[in-house]
């Protein structure tokens, strides 16, 4: 999967969790267009970034148990070429496994 698709998916997951409009795991996965097992992997990745994600069986939704802001760097054109990279300078000092090495990627 491309880096841009991964970023878009994380933003979509974050948006639905913030709205508390996910539904069950199966419904959430369907809304995102992925399998339930891939959803669980993505939720675990977000938890590794510090998100405290829980599920409420009464409301049938995932939610953040603590305030969480998904921070992803800005898209920038790399100087001297047509490649696009991600500027993670605003994220310096944060321990986010999914984005810590992102400056090393060039999207094609």
| Spans of all domains in the chain | 3-64, 74-104
pLDDT at residue 46 greater than cutoff 80? yes
Q: Which of these ranges, 42-51, 58-67, 97-106, has the smallest mean pLDDT?
A: 97-106
DSSP H helices, the chain, are 3-19, 25-32, 36-48
Q: Which of these ranges, 6-10, 65-69, 74-78, 101-105, has the smallest mean pLDDT?
A: 101-105
Q: Which residue from 59, 60, 57, 53 is spatially nearest to 39, judged by alpha carbons? A: 53
Give me the CATH code for the 3-64 domain, please: 1.10.10.10
**Confidence class of residue 87 from pLDDT cuts 50, 70 and 90?**
low
Residues 85 and 77: their CA atoms lie apart, in Å, by 6
Say what the pLDDT of residue 18 is.
96
Residues 29 and 39: their CA atoms lie apart, in Å, by 6
Please state the φ and ψ torsions of residue 63, each to the nearest 5 degrees: -155, 160
Tokens of 78: 């790399």
Q: Which residue from 9, 42, 5, 39 is spatially nearest to 24, judged by alpha carbons? A: 39
Predicted TM-score of the model (pTM)? 0.67
| SS3 label, residue 83 | coil
Which residues are CB-neighbours of 12 under 8 A, at least 6 positions away? 32
């Amino acid at each position: 999967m491309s880096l841009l698709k991964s970023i878009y998916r994380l933003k979509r997951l974050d948006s639905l969790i913030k709205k508390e409009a996910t539904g069950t795991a199966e419904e959430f996965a369907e809304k995102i267009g992925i399998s339930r097992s891939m959803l669980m992997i993505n939720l675990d990745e977000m938890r590794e970034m510090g998100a405290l994600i829980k599920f409420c069986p009464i409301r049938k939704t995932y939610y953040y148990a603590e305030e969480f802001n998904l921070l992803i760097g800005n898209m920038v054109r790399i100087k001297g070429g047509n490649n696009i990279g991600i500027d993670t300078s605003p994220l310096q000092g944060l321990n986010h496994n999914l984005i810590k090495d992102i400056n090393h990627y060039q999207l094609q």
